[in-house]
């Protein structure tokens, strides 16, 4: 039975029975704000008081308040209580008419309340204390020459520990003299693109789905970027001998791939196709550019080793600390075939300018001390729990939505019914949720055959994760 309550001068019209008490309270509060019955700045009763008046559990009221704060309807400050949020253009005369309209009356918040965009780790979990210890130890023991114009290949201390770590953790054939430190993956790809163009390479094949930024960098280097087709098993590398629009796969001199965890679709390249990619490079004299952006994070089994181990002379391995630690560090690395080392170093310049020596020394200390391994293990457990929670919540709230891709990395793909991606993205934006659609990553020449969301479950801090997950479930069909 619906009841009217006037606990603080506003009739809330709540249905007090059934499982939707929190949703009913949230709807009533939104309606009270839309209609002008709750004016901007109005202080609401405490969750304890309102729960007592309405006969609800206090947690129900507190959760409703928290979600409305996240959506931008309310504000909450220590010592000031919970209040109706102020808006720049409330248009009071229009509220009654807008309240009855299916078109939302409130302007969309300038900044999303929840961020589930892929590509960023939980920045709140950066190991500040351990990093500070490593930085101090590195600075105390660094030779004076380390603060001068350094070797363009990067600090030898870092290249030495990286060689050991990559061989142990990723199965990479790495020697320090083959490693070049760079300022992240983008910087490394720019250098490789320049080298390939200088070698006379015309085209670098790319996957059907991926970051447009990466293909754009290759295009900016004067290279064509034909797209490899894909099927239910992933990228079809055998198509490297077939023609393609926007460039010729048959004349490609290199291929850019994410074999351990395809971005964004989330699959792992099957063993036969991994071998086929290396066989193509050997037969054609080309190179495989391996983007191992999150290879350490596999949750259902041990991580699959890097493709580079199959043929270190035909595979350029690119890695980064951006996903495992933080993108703000701007530390990446390339493990190069011997034939490319000199050319890449020449393209980078005579001296190290992209990555600061103190950061390199600190990362070398952090890696060599075992702190990096401990951090990766801790984050692997945290991200696995989040992915499990995501899968369970989606199954409970939207059984027709399927979580696809392997259990790995920092993101998952939610496969949506055909033709629904844009509608779900609009609903997400209105609910203050930043999330990306699969087709945002589709190459322009590739037909649109998939609909889905790319959900970066690693992005929110712990304090915001549950709110983001609830909002995501609310917008799913």
pLDDT grade, residue 76 (50/70/90)?
Answer: confident
Q: Is the pLDDT assigned to residue 377 strictly greater than 60? A: yes
- Per-residue pLDDT reduced to its tens digit, 395-448: 999 998 999 999 999 999 999 999 999 999 999 999 999 999 999 999 998 999
pLDDT band at 251 (very low <50, low <70, confident <90, very high): confident
Higher pLDDT, 104 or 186: 186
Mean pLDDT for the stretch of residues 1-8: 43
State the pLDDT confidence band at 4, using cuts at 50, 70 and 90. Answer: very low
| pLDDT bucket at 358, cuts 50 / 70 / 90 | very high
Torsion angle of the four alpha carbons 91, 93, 97, 103, in this order, in degrees rounded to the nearest 10: -10
Angle in degrees, 0-180, between the axes of helices 371-397 and 462-475, rounded to the nearest 10: 30
**CATH second-level architecture of 2-106?**
Orthogonal Bundle (1.10)
**Does residue 2 register a pLDDT over 70?**
no
- The residue among 173 and 86 whose pLDDT is bigger is 173
For residue 293, pLDDT beyond 80: yes
Average pLDDT over residues 173-177: 95
Distance CA 222, CA 468 (A): 41
With CA atoms as reference, report the closest residue to 264 among 208, 307, 221: 208
Q: pTM here?
A: 0.76
Task: Read off the pLDDT of residues 114-127 as tens digits, 9 standing for 90 and up.
Answer: 999 999 999 999 99
Cα angle, residue 209 at apex, residues 405 and 254 outer, rounded to 5°: 115
pLDDT, mean of residues 53-68: 82
Q: Give the lowest-confidence range in 132-146, 239-253, 381-395, 423-437.
A: 239-253
**How open is the CA angle 391-258-292, to the nearest 5 degrees?**
90
E strands present in 336-418: 402-404, 412-415
- Nearest CA to 359 among 73, 84, 160, 142? 142
Residue 211 pLDDT > 70 = yes
Under CATH, which architecture does the 127-370 domain have?
3-Layer(aba) Sandwich (3.40)
Q: Whole-number mean pLDDT of the chain?
A: 88
Spatial contact of 25 and 61, defined as CB atoms under 8 Å apart: yes
**Local confidence band at 299 (pLDDT 50, 70, 90 cut-offs):** very high
Res. 87 pLDDT band, cuts 50 70 90: low
User: What integer pLDDT is reported at residue 294 of this predicted model?
Assistant: 93
Report DSSP state, residue 149: S
The residue among 257, 207, 213 whose CA lies nearest residue 227 is 207
Return the pLDDT at 100: 36
Measure the CA–CA gap between 323 and 184, rounded to whole angstroms. Answer: 10
Least confident of 12-21, 55-64, 92-101, 151-160: 92-101
Least confident of 70-74, 78-82, 319-323: 78-82
| Percentage of residues of the chain with pLDDT beyond 90 | 69
Confidence bin at 103 (pLDDT 50/70/90):
very low
Q: Domain spans of the chain?
A: 2-106, 127-370, 374-475
Q: Which of 44-58, 214-228, 305-319, 420-434 has the lowest mean pLDDT?
A: 44-58
pLDDT of 272: 94
Q: Which of 39-53, 83-97, 223-237, 399-413 has the lowest mean pLDDT?
A: 83-97
What DSSP designation does 224 have? B
Tell me the pLDDT tens digit for each residue of 380-403.
Answer: 999 999 999 999 999 999 998 999
Q: pLDDT band for position 244 (50/70/90)?
A: low
Rounded percentage of the chain residues whose pLDDT exceeds 70: 89
The pLDDT of residue 243 is 60
The strand pair at 402-404 and 412-415 is best described as antiparallel
Report the relative pairing of strands 452-455 and 203-207 from DSSP bridges.
unpaired
Look at residue 66 in the predicted model and tell me its pLDDT: 81
- How many C-beta atoms surround the C-beta of residue 282 within 10 A? 13
Confidence (pLDDT) at 277: 96
pLDDT score of 225 more than 70: yes
Q: What is the CATH number that goes with domain 374-475? A: 3.90.1150.10
Per-residue CA distances from 275 to 259, 272, 318 (Å): 11, 5, 19
Lowest mean pLDDT across 2-16, 39-53, 264-278, 458-472: 2-16
Question: 473: burial class by Cβ within 10 Å (0-12, 13-18, 19+)?
Answer: middle
Residue 74 banded pLDDT, cuts 50, 70, 90: confident
Q: Which has the minimum average pLDDT: 22-31, 83-92, 192-201, 408-417?
A: 83-92
Round to whole Å and give the CA distance between 305 and 98: 57
CA distance 34 to 92: 9
DSSP letters spanning 31-79: HHHHTTSS-TTPBPPPHHHHHHHHT--HHHHHHHHHHHHHHTSEEEETT
pLDDT band with cut points at 50, 70 and 90 for residue 10? very low
Rounded to 5 degrees, what angle do the CA atoms 71, 35, 10 make?
Answer: 90
Q: How far lies 229's CA from each of 226, 252, 445, 447, 451, in Å?
A: 10, 14, 10, 10, 17
């Amino acid at each position: 039975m619906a009841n009217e309550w006037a606990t603080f001068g506003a009739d809330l019209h709540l249905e007090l029975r059934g499982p939707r008490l929190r949703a009913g309270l949230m709807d009533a509060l939104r309606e009270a704000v839309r209609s002008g019955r709750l004016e901007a700045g109005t202080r609401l009763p405490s969750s304890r008081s309102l729960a007592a008046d309405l006969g609800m559990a206090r947690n129900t009221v507190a959760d409703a308040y928290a979600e409305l704060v996240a959506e931008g309807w309310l504000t909450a400050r220590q010592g000031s209580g919970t209040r109706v949020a102020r808006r720049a253009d409330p248009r009071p005369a229009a509220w009654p008419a807008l309240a009855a309209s299916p078109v939302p009356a409130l302007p969309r918040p300038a900044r999303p309340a929840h961020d589930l965009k892929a590509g960023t780790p939980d920045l709140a979990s950066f190991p500040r204390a351990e990093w500070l210890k490593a930085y101090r130890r590195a600075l105390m023991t660094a030779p004076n020459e380390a603060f001068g114009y350094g070797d363009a290949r990067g600090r030898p201390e870092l290249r030495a520990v990286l060689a050991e770590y990559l061989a142990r953790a990723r199965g990479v054939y790495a020697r320090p003299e083959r490693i070049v430190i760079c300022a992240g993956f983008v910087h490394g790809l720019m250098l490789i693109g320049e080298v390939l163009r200088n070698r006379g390479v015309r085209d670098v094949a790319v996957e059907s789905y991926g970051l447009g930024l990466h293909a754009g960098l290759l295009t900016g280097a004067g290279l064509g970027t034909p797209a490899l087709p894909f099927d239910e098993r992933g990228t079809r590398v055998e198509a490297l001998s077939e023609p393609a629009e926007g460039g010729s796969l048959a004349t490609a001199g290199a291929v850019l791939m994410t074999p351990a965890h395809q971005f964004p679709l989330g699959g792992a390249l099957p063993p036969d196709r991994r071998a086929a990619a290396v066989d193509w490079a050997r037969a054609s004299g080309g190179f495989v550019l391996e983007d191992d952006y999150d290879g350490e994070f596999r949750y259902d089994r041990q991580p699959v080793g890097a493709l580079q181990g199959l043929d270190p002379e035909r595979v350029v391995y690119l890695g980064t600390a951006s996903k495992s630690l933080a993108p703000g560090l701007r530390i990446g690395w390339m493990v190069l075939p011997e034939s490319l080392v000199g050319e890449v170093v020449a393209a980078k310049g005579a001296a190290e300018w992209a990555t600061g020596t103190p950061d390199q020394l600190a990362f070398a200390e952090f890696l060599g001390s075992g702190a990096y391994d401990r951090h990766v293990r801790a984050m692997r457990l945290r991200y696995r729990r989040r992915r499990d929670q995501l899968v369970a919540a989606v199954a409970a709230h939207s059984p027709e939505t399927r979580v696809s891709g392997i259990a790995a990395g920092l993101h998952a793909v939610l496969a949506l019914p055909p033709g629904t991606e844009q509608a779900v993205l609009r609903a997400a934006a209105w609910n203050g949720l930043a999330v990306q659609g699969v087709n945002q990553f589709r190459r322009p020449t590739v037909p649109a055959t998939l609909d889905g969301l790319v959900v970066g479950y690693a992005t929110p801090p712990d304090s915001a994760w549950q709110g983001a997950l609830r909002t995501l479930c609310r917008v799913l069909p």
